[in-house]
Chain A
Protein backbone atom coordinates (compact mmCIF):
# COMPACT_ATOMS: atom_id res chain seq x y z
CA UNK A 1 0.00 0.00 0.00
CA UNK A 2 1.81 3.07 -1.25
CA UNK A 3 -0.82 5.71 -1.16
CA UNK A 4 -2.18 8.53 0.91
CA UNK A 5 -5.96 8.72 1.06
CA UNK A 6 -8.00 11.81 1.81
CA UNK A 7 -11.66 12.23 2.62
CA UNK A 8 -13.86 13.85 1.60
CA UNK A 9 -12.93 14.63 -2.01
CA UNK A 10 -15.12 17.73 -2.01
CA UNK A 11 -16.51 19.79 0.86
CA UNK A 12 -18.79 22.79 0.84
CA UNK A 13 -19.30 24.57 4.14
CA UNK A 14 -20.69 27.77 5.53
CA UNK A 15 -18.67 30.18 7.60
CA UNK A 16 -20.28 29.00 10.83
CA UNK A 17 -19.84 25.28 10.20
CA UNK A 18 -17.41 22.90 11.82
CA UNK A 19 -15.98 20.19 9.61
CA UNK A 20 -12.95 17.93 9.48
CA UNK A 21 -10.65 16.68 6.75
CA UNK A 22 -9.15 13.24 7.12
CA UNK A 23 -5.88 11.82 5.82
CA UNK A 24 -4.60 8.27 6.15
CA UNK A 25 -1.45 6.38 5.17
CA UNK A 26 -0.31 2.86 5.95
CA UNK A 27 3.26 3.06 4.72
CA UNK A 28 4.78 3.40 8.18
CA UNK A 29 5.71 7.01 7.47
CA UNK A 30 6.39 9.03 10.60
CA UNK A 31 6.10 12.51 9.05
CA UNK A 32 2.80 13.89 7.81
CA UNK A 33 2.00 17.26 6.28
CA UNK A 34 -0.90 19.55 5.45
CA UNK A 35 -0.62 21.87 2.46
CA UNK A 36 -3.01 24.45 1.05
CA UNK A 37 -3.07 25.11 -2.68
CA UNK A 38 -4.98 27.92 -4.34
CA UNK A 39 -5.77 27.74 -8.04
CA UNK A 40 -2.75 28.13 -10.33
CA UNK A 41 -0.44 28.50 -7.31
CA UNK A 42 2.12 26.19 -5.70
CA UNK A 43 1.28 24.34 -2.50
CA UNK A 44 1.89 26.22 0.74
CA UNK A 45 2.95 24.31 3.81
CA UNK A 46 0.58 24.60 6.77
CA UNK A 47 1.62 21.97 9.31
CA UNK A 48 4.19 19.22 9.77
CA UNK A 49 3.83 16.34 12.20
CA UNK A 50 6.76 14.18 13.14
CA UNK A 51 6.16 11.08 15.25
CA UNK A 52 2.63 12.32 16.01
CA UNK A 53 3.92 15.60 17.39
CA UNK A 54 3.35 18.97 15.77
CA UNK A 55 6.76 20.12 14.52
CA UNK A 56 5.98 23.02 12.23
CA UNK A 57 3.04 25.44 12.21
CA UNK A 58 3.47 27.98 9.44
CA UNK A 59 1.58 30.71 11.31
CA UNK A 60 -1.73 29.22 10.26
CA UNK A 61 -4.87 30.91 11.69
CA UNK A 62 -6.42 29.11 14.64
CA UNK A 63 -9.58 28.37 12.66
CA UNK A 64 -7.47 25.49 11.26
CA UNK A 65 -6.69 22.92 13.94
CA UNK A 66 -4.58 19.87 13.10
CA UNK A 67 -4.65 16.61 14.97
CA UNK A 68 -2.58 13.45 14.67
CA UNK A 69 -4.35 10.71 16.68
CA UNK A 70 -1.88 8.00 15.61
CA UNK A 71 0.95 7.39 13.19
CA UNK A 72 -1.39 6.59 10.30
CA UNK A 73 -3.99 9.29 10.65
CA UNK A 74 -3.97 13.05 10.29
CA UNK A 75 -6.99 15.30 10.68
CA UNK A 76 -7.57 18.96 9.96
CA UNK A 77 -10.44 20.47 11.92
CA UNK A 78 -12.10 23.50 10.38
CA UNK A 79 -14.17 26.10 12.19
CA UNK A 80 -15.43 29.56 11.27
CA UNK A 81 -13.63 29.59 7.95
CA UNK A 82 -13.64 32.50 5.53
CA UNK A 83 -14.40 32.37 1.80
CA UNK A 84 -10.71 33.04 1.08
CA UNK A 85 -9.93 29.69 2.73
CA UNK A 86 -11.47 27.95 -0.28
CA UNK A 87 -8.68 25.87 -1.82
CA UNK A 88 -7.36 22.38 -2.43
CA UNK A 89 -6.05 20.90 0.83
CA UNK A 90 -3.34 18.34 0.32
CA UNK A 91 -2.06 15.82 2.80
CA UNK A 92 1.34 14.22 2.37
CA UNK A 93 3.67 11.84 4.15
CA UNK A 94 7.30 10.79 4.19
CA UNK A 95 9.33 8.19 6.01
CA UNK A 96 10.85 10.92 8.12
CA UNK A 97 10.85 14.68 8.02
CA UNK A 98 12.86 15.59 4.94
CA UNK A 99 10.30 16.73 2.44
CA UNK A 100 6.91 15.33 1.54
CA UNK A 101 7.14 12.32 -0.74
CA UNK A 102 3.65 10.91 -1.12
CA UNK A 103 0.70 13.20 -1.64
CA UNK A 104 -2.97 12.41 -1.38
CA UNK A 105 -5.41 13.55 -4.09
CA UNK A 106 -6.61 16.43 -1.95
CA UNK A 107 -9.89 17.77 -0.62
CA UNK A 108 -11.46 20.57 -2.66
CA UNK A 109 -12.91 22.94 -0.04
CA UNK A 110 -15.43 25.66 -0.81
CA UNK A 111 -16.44 28.10 1.92
CA UNK A 112 -19.66 30.00 1.27
Chain B
Protein backbone atom coordinates (compact mmCIF):
# COMPACT_ATOMS: atom_id res chain seq x y z
CA UNK B 1 0.00 0.00 0.00
CA UNK B 2 1.14 3.52 -0.67
CA UNK B 3 1.94 6.01 2.07
CA UNK B 4 3.03 9.62 2.41
CA UNK B 5 5.19 11.23 5.06
CA UNK B 6 5.32 14.93 5.72
CA UNK B 7 8.01 15.19 8.38
CA UNK B 8 7.33 18.79 9.35
CA UNK B 9 4.12 19.31 11.30
CA UNK B 10 4.59 23.05 11.59
CA UNK B 11 6.88 25.50 9.75
CA UNK B 12 7.33 29.22 10.33
CA UNK B 13 8.89 31.47 7.70
CA UNK B 14 9.26 35.19 7.30
CA UNK B 15 7.37 36.95 4.58
CA UNK B 16 9.56 37.20 1.49
CA UNK B 17 11.70 34.23 2.48
CA UNK B 18 11.91 31.05 0.46
CA UNK B 19 9.93 27.97 1.38
CA UNK B 20 10.43 24.25 1.04
CA UNK B 21 7.92 21.72 2.37
CA UNK B 22 9.06 18.13 2.44
CA UNK B 23 7.15 15.10 1.24
CA UNK B 24 8.31 11.51 1.01
CA UNK B 25 6.22 8.74 -0.43
CA UNK B 26 6.26 5.00 -0.49
CA UNK B 27 4.93 3.20 -3.53
CA UNK B 28 6.28 0.39 -5.67
CA UNK B 29 5.56 1.90 -9.07
CA UNK B 30 5.54 5.40 -10.51
CA UNK B 31 3.07 7.32 -8.39
CA UNK B 32 0.73 10.14 -9.09
CA UNK B 33 1.74 12.96 -6.72
CA UNK B 34 -0.20 15.99 -5.58
CA UNK B 35 0.13 19.05 -3.37
CA UNK B 36 -2.98 20.68 -1.94
CA UNK B 37 -3.47 23.74 0.24
CA UNK B 38 -6.26 24.24 2.77
CA UNK B 39 -7.10 27.47 4.54
CA UNK B 40 -8.92 27.21 7.89
CA UNK B 41 -12.49 26.01 7.51
CA UNK B 42 -12.16 25.72 3.75
CA UNK B 43 -11.98 22.97 1.19
CA UNK B 44 -8.74 21.94 -0.47
CA UNK B 45 -7.19 23.58 -3.50
CA UNK B 46 -4.92 21.67 -5.85
CA UNK B 47 -1.57 23.47 -6.22
CA UNK B 48 0.08 21.07 -8.63
CA UNK B 49 0.30 17.45 -9.66
CA UNK B 50 2.81 15.07 -11.19
CA UNK B 51 1.75 12.15 -13.35
CA UNK B 52 4.73 11.68 -15.68
CA UNK B 53 7.21 13.59 -17.80
CA UNK B 54 9.21 16.58 -16.61
CA UNK B 55 10.11 16.04 -12.97
CA UNK B 56 9.91 19.77 -12.17
CA UNK B 57 6.27 20.73 -11.97
CA UNK B 58 4.95 24.27 -11.96
CA UNK B 59 1.76 25.01 -10.10
CA UNK B 60 -0.48 27.88 -9.21
CA UNK B 61 0.38 30.78 -6.89
CA UNK B 62 4.09 30.56 -7.75
CA UNK B 63 4.62 27.08 -6.31
CA UNK B 64 6.71 24.34 -7.86
CA UNK B 65 7.63 20.81 -6.86
CA UNK B 66 10.31 18.40 -7.97
CA UNK B 67 9.84 14.64 -8.24
CA UNK B 68 12.99 12.77 -7.25
CA UNK B 69 12.54 9.06 -7.73
CA UNK B 70 15.87 8.17 -6.14
CA UNK B 71 14.86 9.92 -2.94
CA UNK B 72 11.13 9.07 -3.11
CA UNK B 73 10.45 12.74 -2.58
CA UNK B 74 8.18 15.41 -3.98
CA UNK B 75 9.10 18.60 -2.15
CA UNK B 76 7.14 21.80 -2.62
CA UNK B 77 8.98 25.09 -3.07
CA UNK B 78 8.24 28.77 -3.39
CA UNK B 79 10.96 31.42 -3.83
CA UNK B 80 9.19 34.19 -1.89
CA UNK B 81 6.39 33.56 0.58
CA UNK B 82 3.46 35.93 0.98
CA UNK B 83 1.39 36.31 4.15
CA UNK B 84 -1.59 34.85 2.29
CA UNK B 85 0.30 31.55 1.91
CA UNK B 86 -0.29 30.76 5.58
CA UNK B 87 -2.37 27.57 5.51
CA UNK B 88 -2.18 23.79 5.83
CA UNK B 89 -0.40 21.98 3.03
CA UNK B 90 -1.07 18.35 2.15
CA UNK B 91 1.03 16.11 -0.02
CA UNK B 92 -0.80 13.14 -1.52
CA UNK B 93 0.06 10.05 -3.53
CA UNK B 94 -2.21 8.25 -5.93
CA UNK B 95 -1.81 4.59 -6.63
CA UNK B 96 -3.59 2.32 -9.04
CA UNK B 97 -6.30 0.34 -7.33
CA UNK B 98 -8.48 -1.91 -9.44
CA UNK B 99 -8.10 0.36 -12.44
CA UNK B 100 -8.61 3.55 -10.44
CA UNK B 101 -6.40 5.94 -8.55
CA UNK B 102 -6.65 5.75 -4.79
CA UNK B 103 -5.23 8.93 -3.30
CA UNK B 104 -3.68 8.89 0.16
CA UNK B 105 -2.93 12.13 1.97
CA UNK B 106 -0.05 12.94 4.24
CA UNK B 107 -0.74 14.36 7.69
CA UNK B 108 -0.12 17.91 6.55
CA UNK B 109 2.28 20.76 7.29
CA UNK B 110 0.94 23.93 8.82
CA UNK B 111 2.69 27.00 7.45
CA UNK B 112 2.87 30.17 9.52
CA UNK B 113 4.14 33.36 7.88
CA UNK B 114 5.51 36.13 10.09
CA UNK B 115 6.01 39.74 8.98
Query: Residues of A with Cβ closer than 8 Å to B?
Result: 4, 6, 41-45, 48, 50, 55-56, 90, 92, 97-106, 108
Contacts and interface: CB of A to CB of B under 8 A. Distances in A.
B54 to A, nearest CB: 17
A102 B46 contact: yes
B112 to A, nearest CB: 15
Contact of B45 (A45, A97, A103): A103
B23 to A, nearest CB: 12
A100 B103 CA distance: 8
A103 B38 CA distance: 10
Interface string B34-48: 101000011111100
Q: Chain B at the A interface: mostly helix, strand, loop or mixed?
A: strand
Interface of B: 32, 34, 36, 41-46, 49, 51, 90, 92, 94, 97-108
Given A99-B32, A103-B43, A56 B105 contact: no
Nearest to A58: B102
B3 to A, nearest CB: 12
26 contacts: A42-B106, A42-B108, A43-B44, A43-B105, A45-B103, A45-B104, A48-B100, A50-B100, A55-B100, A56-B100, A90-B43, A92-B44, A97-B100, A98-B32, A99-B32, A99-B34, A99-B101, A100-B44, A100-B46, A100-B103, A101-B46, A101-B49, A103-B36, A103-B43, A103-B44, A103-B45
